[in-house]
Chains A and B, each alone.
Chain A
Amino acid sequence: MSAAALLEVRNVWQRFGGLVANSDVSLSVQAGEIVGLIGPNGAGKSTLFNVIAGLRPPTEGSVWFDGQDVTRLSAPERCARGIGRTFQVVKSFDSMSVADNVIVGALVRTSSTKEARRKADEVLEFAGLAHRAEVSAIELTPPEKRRLEVARALATEPKLLLLDEVMTGLTPSEARAGVDLVRAVRAKGVAVLMVEHVMEIVMPLVDRAVVLNLGAVLAQGKPADVVRDERVIGAYLGERHRA
């Protein structure tokens, strides 16, 4: 773990009463890197995601972003510092147009709605939603809504984008388009931390994978190495599949 990491999670514990959802989790994301956070159901991915996004502070441990301790900062403050996120269950502003959704995000960097509108047009173009800009957000198809979430987060000009299962529920062709979008986001210099369930999608895309199991980091490293890791296979497929 280098000192220059963009995001650093240091020894995070999250307990809910007697239940330990994260135990001593440490991980880092470098600038411009795509990191996958994977693990079977109940591994503590979402809990960790919420700690990083600022929904709930950890019981113990700290989160560092851009060299500063952000463990106790609220979600809006983290957004201002450069952490953008999407939601697993899409949370679009349904009474507003697609463009207006994105403008809300852009307004964190400017107070001028004119400037925010220009920024929104640019981001929508990038995300392939320009032709839907004036449509009400509620009329979008599910994959378009996912795109809107990404666009909205990008409008806040993040240094790190947190993606919470953006590929879940997409058809293979939609997922491929999603993968292209994530690659394009990285090409802009934005680091990506993606929680994902579907291994086939994540592995070819990420530079590094962190596998959580039972709340703790089971393995991390290059995707090719991780998928061959005995413990990872065991956790995903069960002990008896271990060859």
Chain B
Amino acid sequence: MSASSFTARRTRQLGLALVILVVVALLPFGVKDVYTLNILILMLMYAALSQSWNILGGYCGQLSLGHALYFGIGAYSSTLLYTKFGILPWFGMALGGVIAAGIAMAIGHACFRLAGHYYVIATIVIAEIGLLLFHNWDWAGAATGIELPFGRDSWVTFQFARNKLPYFYFALGFAAVTWLVTWKIENSKWGYWWRAVKDNPEAAESLGVMVFNSKMMAAAVSAFFTAVGGSFYAQFVAYIDPESVMTFQFSLLMALPAVLGGIGTLWGPALGALILIPMTELTRTFMGGSGKGIDLIVYGCLIMVIALARPDGLVGLFHRRKRSAA
């Protein structure tokens, strides 16, 4: 009985996701405003990025505040390959993902021995080192950055300078894929292992869980998708420099939606991004240059509110309602 109700619950989740996918896919028919479309694209991108972060930070419990590094690697690898060697961004995107996964595993190899807060601090420091390296790497544009050559709108070069709508659909697909991967993982050996590692590594080991390998796997998958998001972002904004793709702010923006929505949950990152990203964009727009940093104050307040009112994130609200209704 429990097995069948479990399957039913998972099928329902998938159905709900499909409905949401279709509804969101239809949105551009109503929304013609470029500014709103921009916000929607960013929202979907951060939903996907935060879902990627959630794989390592939420499911496996290894809190990383250095995901900007993988994001930057994705952005730089597709951009550099295209501008320097004429290799299409699609290959750069895949390669960036692989490089980021490799680096995440190298970092993990050194840092997964660190417990709790020490791991968090290590990830911040390593990402900052990456930022500094790119700042001083002349071939990669150093602090000046790199501009993507202005070409025809095309899926081949993944450039749409005139009409941003294709980016919307890519971002939607990206969010859908990361959601689906997470959904799949939830009912897999890795998914169970990751949650066991998060809850109690010692008990996990006694049950045959390879704790270190589990963390490495989660780090690789998480970094791969984060880098894919980085390549997408580079194409979307068509100009990158270290400050615009690798700063600590991005690490925060990947972690926060998951924390806000519900860490280690299937819907948390999307829910968090739905609330956080429009808010960020709006404060930025209304405050303009004088409001620099205001969004950070907003994040800080949000974290405090969540920590006090709903430590398990907004997704917890739905669970509670369901339980009291039942």
A75 touches B3 (CB 8 A): no
B189 touches A152 (CB 8 A): no
Name B1-36 residues within 8 Å CB distance of A.
2-3, 5-6
B208 touches A76 (CB 8 A): yes
B189 touches A91 (CB 8 A): no
A79 touches B195 (CB 8 A): no
CA distance A108 to B204 in the complex (A): 11
Q: Tell whether A153 pairs with B207 under 8 Å between CB atoms, given A91-B200, A95-B199, A117-B3.
A: yes
Residues on the B chain within 8 Å of A105, using CB: 207-208
Name A85-138 residues within 8 Å CB distance of B.
85, 87, 91-96, 99-100, 103-105, 107-108, 111, 113-114, 116-118, 121, 133-134
Q: Pick the contact of B206 from A95, A133, A153 — CB < 8 Å?
A: A153
Tell whether B119 is near chain A: CB-to-CB under 8 Å.
Answer: no
Residue picked from B187, B195, B207, most chain A C-beta under 10 Å: B207
CA distance A80 to B199 in the complex (A): 21
B192 touches A104 (CB 8 A): yes
A111 touches B200 (CB 8 A): no
A79 touches B264 (CB 8 A): no
Name B121-157 residues within 8 Å CB distance of A.
none
B205 touches A117 (CB 8 A): no
Interface of A is mostly: helix
Tell whether A156 is near chain B: CB-to-CB under 8 Å.
Answer: yes
What are 24 A-B interface contacts by the 8 Å CB criterion?
A53-B206, A76-B205, A76-B208, A76-B211, A79-B206, A80-B208, A84-B206, A87-B202, A87-B206, A94-B199, A96-B195, A96-B199, A99-B2, A100-B192, A103-B192, A104-B192, A104-B193, A108-B209, A113-B188, A117-B2, A117-B3, A134-B2, A134-B5, A156-B207
Tell whether A59 is near chain B: CB-to-CB under 8 Å.
Answer: no
CB distance from A160 to the nearest CB of B (A): 13
Residues on the B chain within 8 Å of A121, using CB: 2-3
- Chain A residue nearest to B211 in the complex (CB): A76
- Chain A residue nearest to B187 in the complex (CB): A113
B200 touches A92 (CB 8 A): yes
Q: Tell whether A156 pairs with B208 under 8 Å between CB atoms, given A93-B196, A94-B199, A96-B195.
A: yes
Tell whether B198 is near chain A: CB-to-CB under 8 Å.
Answer: yes
CA distance A126 to B5 in the complex (A): 21
Q: Pick the contact of B203 from A91, A107, A114, A118 — CB < 8 Å?
A: A91
Residues on the B chain within 8 Å of A116, using CB: 192
Residues on the B chain within 8 Å of A79, using CB: 205-208
Tell whether B307 is near chain A: CB-to-CB under 8 Å.
Answer: no
Tell whether A74 is near chain B: CB-to-CB under 8 Å.
Answer: yes
Q: Contact string, A142-176, partner B, CB cutoff 8 A, digits 1/0?
A: 00000000001101100000000000000000000
CA distance A93 to B195 in the complex (A): 8
CB distance from A143 to the nearest CB of B (A): 18
- Chain A residue nearest to B263 in the complex (CB): A95
Interface residues on B, range: 20 to 34
CB distance from B4 to the nearest CB of A (A): 10
CA distance A142 to B191 in the complex (A): 27
- Chain B residue nearest to A55 in the complex (CB): B202
B3 touches A76 (CB 8 A): no
Residues on the B chain within 8 Å of A93, using CB: 195-196, 199-200, 203-204
Name A2-51 residues within 8 Å CB distance of B.
none
CA distance A113 to B189 in the complex (A): 7
CA distance A96 to B200 in the complex (A): 11
CB distance from A116 to the nearest CB of B (A): 8
A133 touches B208 (CB 8 A): no
Residues on the B chain within 8 Å of A117, using CB: 2-3, 6
CA distance A96 to B6 in the complex (A): 14
CB distance from B85 to the nearest CB of A (A): 41
CB distance from A52 to the nearest CB of B (A): 12
Residues on the A chain within 8 Å of B3, using CB: 114, 117-118, 121
CB distance from B319 to the nearest CB of A (A): 10
Residues on the A chain within 8 Å of B205, using CB: 74-76, 79
CA distance A232 to B62 in the complex (A): 48
- Chain A residue nearest to B208 in the complex (CB): A108
A76 touches B210 (CB 8 A): yes
B192 touches A152 (CB 8 A): no
A-B contacts besides A84-B206, A92-B199, A133-B2, 6 pairs, CB < 8 Å:
A76-B209, A100-B192, A117-B2, A153-B206, A155-B207, A156-B208
Residues on the A chain within 8 Å of B2, using CB: 99, 117, 121, 133-134
B196 touches A104 (CB 8 A): yes
B195 touches A100 (CB 8 A): yes
